[in-house]
Amino acid sequence: MRLKNKSLMLQGTASSVGKSILTAAFCRIFKEDGYKTAPFKSQNMALNSYITEEGLEMGRAQVVQAEASCQKPCVLMNPILLKPTTDKKSQVILKGKVYGNLSAIEYHNFKPKLKELVKDTYDRLSKENDIVVLEGAGSPAEINLRENDLVNMGMAEISDSPVIIVGDIDRGGVFASIYGTIMLLTEEERKRVKGIIINKFRGDVEILKPGIKMLEDLINIPVLGVVPYTDIQIEDEDSLAERFRRRGEGEGEINVEVLYLPRVSNFTDFNVFETQKDVNLRYVMRGESIGNPDILIIPGSKNTIEDLVYLRNSGLEEQILRLNKKGKIIVGICGGYQILGTKIKDPHKTESGIDEINGLGLLNTETIFEENKTTTQIEGKILMGNNGILEKINSYKVTGYEIHMGQTKLLEGTSPFIKIDKRLNDKVEVFDGGVNEKGNVFGTYIHGIFDNISFTRDILNRVREEKGLEKIESSVESFNEFKEIEYKKLAKIVRNNIDMKKIYEIVNGD
Tens of pLDDT, residue by residue over 165-192, are: 999 999 889 999 999 999 999 999 999 9
Answer yes or no: do 115 and 215 share one domain.
yes
pLDDT above 60 for 246: no
Answer yes or no: do 388 and 435 share one domain.
yes
Answer yes or no: do 163 and 286 share one domain.
no
- Residue 243 has a pLDDT of 56
Q: How far apart are CA 227 and CA 503, in angstroms?
A: 14
Answer yes or no: do 380 and 424 share one domain.
yes
Average pLDDT of 262-284? Answer: 92
Contact of 347 with 324, CB cutoff 8 Å: no
Average pLDDT of 382-389? Answer: 81
Answer yes or no: do 255 and 208 share one domain.
no
Answer yes or no: do 255 and 222 share one domain.
no
Backbone angles phi, psi at 280, to 5 degrees: -100, 115
Q: Confidence class of residue 304 from pLDDT cuts 50, 70 and 90?
A: very high
Length, in residues, of the chain: 510
Answer yes or no: do 171 and 311 share one domain.
no
Contact of 218 with 190, CB cutoff 8 Å: no
Answer yes or no: do 71 and 131 share one domain.
yes
Backbone angles phi, psi at 399, to 5 degrees: -130, 160
Element (H or E) spanning 118, and its range? helix 115-127
Last residue of a domain, one of 234, 259, 286: 234
pLDDT above 80 for 39: yes
**Counting Cβ atoms within 10 Å, is residue 353 exposed (0-12), middle (13-18) or buried (19+)?**
exposed
Report the sign of the C-alpha dihedral through residues 404, 116, 66, 272, in that order: positive
Contact of 164 with 224, CB cutoff 8 Å: yes
Provide the annotated active-site residues.
Answer: 334, 447
Average pLDDT of 409-436? Answer: 95
- Average pLDDT of the residues of the chain: 92
Neighbours of 252 (CB within 10 A): 16
For the ranges 15-24, 317-326, 388-397, which has the lowest average pLDDT? 388-397
- Residue 349 has a pLDDT of 83
Is there a domain that residue 320 lies in? yes
Last residue of a domain, one of 201, 234, 267: 234
Q: Confidence class of residue 240 from pLDDT cuts 50, 70 and 90?
A: very low
449 lies in which domain range? Answer: 246-479
Between the alpha carbon of residue 400 and those of residues 52, 93, 415, the distances in Å are 11, 21, 20
Answer yes or no: do 433 and 293 share one domain.
yes
Last residue of a domain, one of 212, 234, 256: 234
Neighbours of 423 (CB within 10 A): 18
- Residue 244 has a pLDDT of 57
Percentages (nearest 5) of helix, strand, coil residues in the chain? 35, 30, 35
Is there a domain that residue 503 lies in? no
Q: Confidence class of residue 98 from pLDDT cuts 50, 70 and 90?
A: very high
Q: Confidence class of residue 485 from pLDDT cuts 50, 70 and 90?
A: very high
Is there a domain that residue 2 lies in? no
Own/partner pairs for 96-101, CB < 8 Å, 24+ apart? 96/52, 96/54, 96/55, 96/56, 96/57, 96/58, 96/375, 97/56, 97/57, 98/57, 98/373
For the ranges 19-28, 225-234, 491-500, which has the lowest average pLDDT? 225-234
- Residue 68 has a pLDDT of 98
Between the alpha carbon of residue 479 and those of residues 8, 116, 199, 233, 485, the distances in Å are 29, 38, 27, 11, 10
Answer yes or no: do 120 and 171 share one domain.
yes
Which CATH number characterizes residue 85's domain?
3.40.50.300
Buried b or exposed e, range 30-54, using 16+ CB within 10 angstroms? bbebebbbbbbbbbbebbbbbbbee
Which CATH number characterizes residue 424's domain?
3.40.50.880
- Residue 242 has a pLDDT of 56
pLDDT above 60 for 415: yes
- Residue 237 has a pLDDT of 60
- Residue 309 has a pLDDT of 96
Q: Confidence class of residue 106 from pLDDT cuts 50, 70 and 90?
A: very high
Is there a domain that residue 240 lies in? no
Q: What percent of the chain is predicted at pLDDT more than 90?
A: 80
Q: Could you write out the three-class secondary structure of 288-349?
A: CCCCCCCEEEECEECCHHHHHHHHHHHCHHHHHHHHHHCCCEEEEECHHHHHHCCEEECCCC
114-156 tens-digit pLDDT:
999 999 999 999 999 999 999 999 999 988 888 889 999 999 9
- Residue 241 has a pLDDT of 52
Report the sign of the C-alpha dihedral through residues 234, 235, 237, 242, in that order: positive
Average pLDDT of 73-99? Answer: 93
Answer yes or no: do 167 and 303 share one domain.
no
CA 33 from centre of chain: 27
362-383 tens-digit pLDDT:
999 999 999 889 999 999 999 9
pLDDT above 50 for 239: no
Answer yes or no: do 154 and 263 share one domain.
no
Average pLDDT of 406-435? Answer: 95
Specify the number of domains making up the chain. 2
